[in-house]
Amino acid sequence: MVHFSPKPAASMPVAKSSAKLPYTLFGKTIPRRQAIALISDHGDPAAEIGKEEAGGQNVYVRQVGESLAKLGWQVDMFTRKTRPDDLPIVQHSPYCRTIRLVAGPEHFVPRDELFAYLPEFVAAFQMFQGQTGIHYPLIHTNYWMSAWVGLQLKQHSNIQLVHTYHSLAAVKYQAMQQRPAIANTRLAIERQILEIADCIVATSPQEEETLQTRVSSQGHIEVIPCGTDIENFHAIPRAEARTRLGFGLHEKIVLYVGRFDPRKGIETLVRACAQLRGGTVIRGSGAGNVLLRPLPSNIRLVIVGGSDPDQTDGQERQRIEQIVQNVGLVTQTRFVGQVGHDLLPLYYTAADVCVIPSHYEPFGLVAIEAMACGTPVVASDVGGLKFTVVPEETGLLVPVQNTAAFAEAIDRVLNDEPWAHKLRKQAPIRVQQNFSWSGVAAHLSDLYRRLLAQSISHSKVPFLNQLATPAVYTNPDRLASEKALTKGRSQGSGIKLS
């Protein structure tokens, strides 16, 4: 049975916000905007970040959505409702909202079990369109399950389908002895979406290459990176940050920020910290006897990230705590728990180095957040981290899971002050120039416009009438060429592009 909880827009409860009504501003009626849908079936853009299953994807969808709304689109972000008391609609800003559809039970369901509920998600999405009269000519899906949703929708209507992977089965399952039951389905869908979508957004050139070599050589890919909010993530005086967080001014702070997941490699970081200069592990003569030389007393390992004892992230945290104890780092380590983006800049700024020891990372938002705050990054030499971190200029890249190499790299940042100072200066510049959300959204907006213009020129379908006065047509050159294109091919469609 298909459940559909959101009622027609007028009667739906909406989260309180300072947002103004969508189509009036200062008492004046403003032109209707082009509506687009971002679909993130399992990553709620309105969720708290930094806990089980809520990480980079949630941040990406929310930030992209809000930034696209600033560029003139009406952005509706669809996700699955996971709690009965969650509001069906959260209005983030006048033209950007999260819409929670009922598809399956209204409680947390692990990712690998969600596939069964996707047909309900598709039906709920279609019903929402029917009831509100909104048709989305462009849908941007996120993660493989939403890709399946997008593929179903594309079968039934003329939409432009854009997809961002966030994680790739071809990489994730590579090192796994036991694949989950859903593995083959996921691999097949990840291939299908690449071959069928109108455009795949790869977040790094490394991801693009992996897609082409390990998923399919067919398909249209554009590289548009992830971004960060450079107004929020920026350097603040270190002494101020440390005082506010209760850290000493002479401590050497090694920071981890992220979810508790074995793939994140926190174990490597903890073991590396135990080997920092002065803390070298010495094997005694007795079998299995390990002696630890004391670390310099001013080393602090700070681990930021939420967890729930009843979920898999809680189990991973327990495992990490055990390792911290085994290697003798209990007094030096602080488990901070989940921290919001409002306070995270303080942690990044307070730190001497931010370490990202992931086994694989399609992009890795934490790297650019840390760099934006002027913090050098030591990261695994994998995936998107190869793209964001420039060795010797904004940090160091280290062979994945190589404890000794991580220890050496962290030591170098902690002890070579003139060089670390140079990294701190260069890191924010790299982020400002390449990874601001506004820049990312401008690229995406340009891509959407091109795809919509293409679809206008290739189709006779009725949604053309809804493209009235899109506020996004702002580039005069593009506008002129799209006008010419549209005039020749879709006479009588009623489109106004000025």
Binding footprint of ligand UDP on the chain (CB under 6 A): 49-50, 55-57, 59, 257-259, 304-306, 338-339, 341, 344, 363-366, 369
Minimum CB distance to ligand UDP, residue 171 (Å): 13
Question: Of the two residues 363 and 463, which places its CB atom closer to ligand UDP in the complex?
Answer: 363
Minimum CB distance to ligand UDP, residue 463 (Å): 33
CA atoms of 77 and 89, how far apart (whole Å): 10
Give residues with Cβ within 8 angstroms of 315, minimum separation 6: none
Question: Of the two residues 143 and 247, which places its CB atom closer to ligand UDP in the complex?
Answer: 143
CA atoms of 266 and 271, how far apart (whole Å): 9
CA atoms of 410 and 376, how far apart (whole Å): 10
Q: Are 431 and 230 in contact (CB under 8 A)?
A: yes
- Hey, what are 30's tokens? 């403003």
Cβ count near 92 (within 10 Å): 19
Calculate ∠ Cα 424-429-432, nearest 5°: 130
CA atoms of 421 and 473, how far apart (whole Å): 43
Minimum CB distance to ligand UDP, residue 49 (Å): 4
Question: Of the two residues 77 and 344, which places its CB atom closer to ligand UDP in the complex?
Answer: 344
Question: Of the two residues 25 and 343, which places its CB atom closer to ligand UDP in the complex?
Answer: 343
Beta bridge partners of 218: none
Cβ count near 188 (within 10 Å): 13
Question: Of the two residues 54 and 444, which places its CB atom closer to ligand UDP in the complex?
Answer: 54
Question: Of the two residues 108 and 419, which places its CB atom closer to ligand UDP in the complex?
Answer: 108
Minimum CB distance to ligand UDP, residue 363 (Å): 6
Residue with the shortest CB distance to ligand UDP: 55
Closest CA to 367 of 397, 406, 346, 407: 397
Calculate ∠ Cα 155-163-105, nearest 5°: 75
Minimum CB distance to ligand UDP, residue 305 (Å): 4
Minimum CB distance to ligand UDP, residue 401 (Å): 17
Question: Of the two residues 59 and 398, which places its CB atom closer to ligand UDP in the complex?
Answer: 59
Question: Of the two residues 308 and 446, which places its CB atom closer to ligand UDP in the complex?
Answer: 308
Q: Are 199 and 162 in contact (CB under 8 A)?
A: yes
Minimum CB distance to ligand UDP, residue 210 (Å): 16
Closest CA to 156 of 130, 195, 117: 130
Question: Of the two residues 228 and 455, which places its CB atom closer to ligand UDP in the complex?
Answer: 228
Minimum CB distance to ligand UDP, residue 172 (Å): 11
CA atoms of 365 and 204, how far apart (whole Å): 12
Q: Which residue matches tokens 């120039």? A: 433
Minimum CB distance to ligand UDP, residue 314 (Å): 14
CA atoms of 111 and 106, how far apart (whole Å): 14
